[in-house]
Structure 1
Amino acid sequence: MAHQPDQSEFRVILPEEIAWEPFPAFPTGARLAVVVGHPTQAGPYVIRVKVSGGTKLMPHKHPEDRIYTVLSGVFYIGLGYTFNGDKVNAYPPGSVIVLPGDTWHFHWAKSGEYVTQVTAIGPLGLEYHDLQDDPRHLHVNVAIDRVGHRTPPKPRVKGCQRA
């Protein structure tokens, strides 16, 4: 259980207590762990993000200001609403990156897995520039045909309901 900002007792969260979970807005190669607070609610929170090598988080923005601390690996981040692997900057462990809210950016685990710690004031928000890049959108609006190809859903006819 993550420590809550209003708790008055001393608390230590050890690395082995970190619970990595899939996050619906992340691609499959990324995991999130809540360390302090409730990111979905107003108030301070601390999360960790682990991204496996080669994974890209396509252009997106957050409404909240964020402070990233690189814990391990090399964190590659670029600014803008178009992914460009030539425009990412590499930050080693110990680096601190301040990202103002509503800044379009993208991440790439270009040289292997990285872990960042994000400190912010919630609620956490994440909006992709292109809905095609948002895993939440894909899970809802894309069907898989019999041979495994992604196909757009069939339009519904007004007045008809699926059985």
Structure 2
Amino acid sequence: MFKIISLVVAFLLSMMFCVQAFASEPADRLMGPAAVQWRENSEIAGVKSAVAVGDPSTAELYALLGKMDEGTVFPLHHHPDDRITTVISGIMYYGVAEEDTSEQMNLEAAVAYPAGSVVYTPAGTLHYMWAKEGELVAQETGFGPTGIDFIDASENEN
């Protein structure tokens, strides 16, 4: 009986130390809203971004934060990696275009995703976003290296 109690106590103590080690390890990766270092997007007015976790230019998991001012449209583009987008605040209007057609962005066809929504975008999917009603804040997560290729709408005009 003493042997069983000793094993249980040893197990519980080891679990306590493991939990404490895991709880303290990622503390340097925690980021409150005040610590976010937003950067203006040089190509699209009204868009800011920040790297929350990882390095999007290397083969690792990353998380990007994006902020769009009301009325801002993030034009038709695609990425080389799968993306999971979580809407943190606001409403993200999200649309997809077919790559093999001349279809351009149709803002009125975009689907509204409110805060708390999660949207999966496979690699290579042509898509666009719109902050139609108020500011939009979202987090995009993927596995790098990543990038962005904008589609010039003027190339699709007849």
Structure 2 equivalent of residue 42 of structure 1: 59
Paired residues of 2:104 and 2:153 also in contact (CA < 8 A)? no
Distance in 2 (alpha carbons) for counterparts of 1:62 and 1:114: 20
Q: CA RMSD in A?
A: 1.8
> What do the CA deviations read for 1:40-78 (whole angstroms, capped 9, x no partner)?
222110010000011111110011100000000001110
Tell me whether 15-24 or 106-115 shows the greater mean CA deviation.
15-24
Report the count of equivalent residues. Answer: 125
Distance in 1 (alpha carbons) for counterparts of 2:148 and 2:131: 19
Structure 2 equivalent of residue 124 of structure 1: 146
1:20 aligns with 2:35: no
Distance in 2 (alpha carbons) for counterparts of 1:45 and 1:98: 15
Structure 2 equivalent of residue 70 of structure 1: 87
Ranked by relative contact order (alpha carbons within 8 Å, sequence separation 6 or more), the top structure is 2
Q: Structure 2 unaligned runs (5+)?
A: 1-23, 98-102
The alignment's TM-score, normalised by the length of structure 2, stands at 0.74
Distance in 1 (alpha carbons) for counterparts of 2:41 and 2:72: 14
Spell out structure 1 runs of 4+ moving beyond 4 A: none
Distance in 1 (alpha carbons) for counterparts of 2:121 and 2:26: 29
Shift of 1:15: 1.0
Paired residues of 2:83 and 2:122 also in contact (CA < 8 A)? yes
Q: Percent identity?
A: 39
Q: Structure 1 unaligned runs (5+)?
A: 1-7, 134-163
- Output the amino acid matched with 1:120: G
Q: Secondary structure at the match of 2:34?
A: helix
Structure 2 equivalent of residue 113 of structure 1: 135
